[in-house]
Amino acid sequence: MSASVSTHDFSRFKLLLIEFALAMGGFGIGTGEFAIMGLMPNMAQDLGVSEPQIGHLISAYALGVVVGAPLLAILGARLYRRHLLLLLMAFYALGNIASAMAPTYESLMALRFIAGLPHGAYFGVAALVAATLVPPSQRAKAVSRVMMGLTLALLIGNPLATILGQSLNWRYAYIFVGLIAVLTVVLVFFFLPLNRQEVRNSPLHEVRAFRGAQLWYALAIGSIGFAGMFCVFSYLAPTLLNVTGMDPFWIPIALAVFGLGGFIGNLLGGWLFDRLQFRSVGLLLVWAIVTLSLFPLASESIWTLLAICFLVAQMSALGPALQTRLMDVANDAQTLAAASHHAAFNVANALGPWLGGMAITAGLGWQSTGYVGAAAAAAGLAIFAMAWRHEVGTTTLTEATEQPGAG
């Protein structure tokens, strides 16, 4: 594990500048990842494909994250974290600017995969940096502050990208994302100092340490349970147009409301995990099942739709909770585990649109995504129950063997 930096090494203002720089990268990545959601009708018309086919672009990006997160984390294990963050964000800038210039649907599919490669490794390394700068009891809140960039992307970046794409062309949304990534490179370069006392792992050591049932349980919860939110969010724009019957004007408003819910959920997740630890994950999954089940009923009216969007988006609380859980159970595979959290998150981002698209294509209606999403959250809750049972059983066995005279 990397050597921890004392909080006394930095003033509170310096810590805020570092967290701001790291969060800016999350803002750019989140805007790039979710921009398609608000521009799905525009992109489908411009590229001459269906809206479910545009949904496949979301899955291509997510697949890039799944492949890139562990791969780049392993390859970058010997680098200082500051240097790795700079390289990852430069890569992200190039991937999104190239996406803006894609001439065809097929080339855009390939470029979205490439743009997704540095996503997970960036978030994983940024979370580790944030966690080393605060006392152990404040790690989840520090991670949530860095992850705030991702939720602010939902609240501000995604609506701005949608307005930009509707007003000019969807390609400008990706140029906007590329410029944010360039800004992040500048901020990280100036605000995050190089820690030469940082202990760096060998790639092989990270891979060998990447084991343990609880680590894989946490990744499975993120991969499957989180898919419910993306199932609804990915098709929010066409649901608003075709079910609620509203004008395209309402799309950025709905996205902003969703983003506000995600912003609050992100802060809630860090606060809740610092208090309840792993139990908070089960509580959040129960919340997800209830709110996703209500989505189809709420989609007929704009006001109930906005309210349920706000509530569903609070599933974002799972982000900092699962990220911190992985830090707790990863032992010496900290970088790989932290990056793999975002690979799991993007398995969910690929699985959600795919499952929702299947339901829509089968004729179940746009609003059926709520029921499909609730089923995914219920599957995540079942995995949580298995993880909890395994942990309690392991703890009980350990305590029994440590009793005087045991064995």
pLDDT of residue 363: 82
Q: Provide CB contacts within 8 A for 369, sequence distance 6+.
A: 231, 232, 234, 235, 239, 295, 356, 359, 360
Residue 136 confidence (pLDDT) above 60: yes
For the cut 90, the answer to whether the pLDDT of residue 374 exceeds it is yes
| Predicted pLDDT of residue 403 | 54
> How confident is residue 201, by pLDDT bands cut at 50, 70 and 90?
low
pLDDT of residue 405: 52
For residue 5, what pLDDT band results from cuts at 50, 70 and 90?
Answer: very low
Report d(CA 236, CA 37) in Å as an integer: 7
Judged against a pLDDT cut of 90, whether residue 41 lies above it is answered with: no
Model confidence at 397: pLDDT above 60: no
Report the distance separating Cα 187 and Cα 300, nearest Å.
Answer: 44
Q: Residues 384-396: pLDDT tens digits?
A: 999 888 877 665 5
Residue 67 is encoded by which pair of tokens?
């492949």
- Residue 6 binned pLDDT confidence (cut-offs 50, 70, 90): very low
* pLDDT of 190 strictly over 80: yes
The residues, any chain, with a CB within 8 Å of residue 316's CB and separated by 6 or more, are 150, 151, 154, 229, 261, 262, 263, 265, 266, 269
State the pLDDT confidence band at 1, using cuts at 50, 70 and 90. Answer: very low
- 114 confidence band (pLDDT: 50, 70, 90): very high
Name the burial class of residue 33, with classes exposed (0-12), middle (13-18) and buried (19+) by CB atoms within 10 angstroms of its CB. buried
Q: Does pLDDT of 400 surpass 60?
A: no
pLDDT at 107: 93
Burial of 13 (0-12, 13-18, 19+ CB in 10 A): exposed
Dig out the tokens for 141 from the structure.
């809140």
pLDDT at residue 182 in the model: 96
- Put residue 255 in one of left, alpha, beta given phi > 0 → left and psi -120 to 50 → alpha: alpha
- CB of 343 within 8 A of CB of 69? yes
Mean pLDDT of the chain: 82
- Looking at residue 207, what is its pLDDT? 64
247 Rama class: left (phi>0) / alpha (psi -120 to 50) / beta: beta
Superfamily of chain region 7-192+202-402:
MFS general substrate transporter like domains (1.20.1250.20)
Distance CA 263, CA 144 (A): 10
What are 295-305's pLDDT values in tens digits?
999 888 889 98
Share of the chain above pLDDT 90, in %: 23
Q: What is the mean pLDDT of residues 349-361?
A: 85
Q: Which amino acid, one-letter code, is at 259?
A: G
Residue type, 97: I
The pair of structure tokens assigned to 35 is: 């921009």
**Tokens 């805007």, residue located:** 31
- Predicted confidence at residue 8, as pLDDT, reads 42
pLDDT band at 42 (very low <50, low <70, confident <90, very high): confident
- pLDDT level of residue 208 (50, 70, 90 thresholds): low
pLDDT of residue 221: 92
More confident residue, 90 or 11: 90
Report pLDDT for 218.
Answer: 87
How confident is the model over 43-83, as pLDDT tens digits?
A: 888 888 887 788 788 878 888 888 888 888 778 777 888 89
